[in-house]
Amino acid sequence: MVLARKTIPTINASTIRWVWRKRQAFIPRIHKHAYRSATIGAMRKILHVDMDAFYASVEQRDDPALRGKPVVVAWRGARSVVCAASYEARQFGVRSAMPAVRAERLCPDAIFVPPDFNRYRAVSRQVRAIFLRHTELVEPLSLDEAYLDVTVNKLGLSSATEVAQTIRAAIREETDLTASAGVAPNKFLAKIASDWRKPDGLFVVRPHEVEAFLAPLLVSRLPGVGKVMEGKLAALGVTTVGALGNLAQDTLVNALGNFGRRLYELARGIDERAVCPNQPTQSISAEDTFESDLPLDALVPHIERLAEKTWTAATREKTRSARTVVLKLKTSDFRILTRSLTPSLPPSSAAELARIALDLRDRVLLPAHTRYRLVGVGLGRFEDHETTLPQPELFS
- Residues marked active site are found at 145
> Cβ neighbours of residue 234 under 8 Å, at least 6 residues apart?
none
Cα gap 43→46, rounded to integer Å: 10
Element (H, E) at 322: strand 320-331
Residue pair 134/167 in contact (Cβ under 8 Å)? The answer is: yes
> Cβ neighbours of residue 69 under 8 Å, at least 6 residues apart?
60, 86, 88, 109, 111
Residue pair 168/202 in contact (Cβ under 8 Å)? The answer is: yes
> Cβ neighbours of residue 15 under 8 Å, at least 6 residues apart?
9
As a dihedral over the C-alpha atoms of residue 314, residue 315, residue 318, residue 324, rounded to 10 degrees, the angle is: 40
List strands edge to edge, sheet with 202-204. 138-142, 145-149, 46-51, 179-184, 202-204
- The separation between CA 192 and the C-alpha centre of its own chain, rounded to angstroms, equals 14
Max CA separation in the chain (angstroms): 95
31 phi and psi, to 5 degrees?
Answer: -65, -45
Cα gap 181→195, rounded to integer Å: 8
Cα gap 47→203, rounded to integer Å: 10
Cα gap 126→135, rounded to integer Å: 15
Residue pair 80/114 in contact (Cβ under 8 Å)? The answer is: no
Amino acid 45 reads K
Residue pair 177/123 in contact (Cβ under 8 Å)? The answer is: yes
Residue pair 373/289 in contact (Cβ under 8 Å)? The answer is: yes
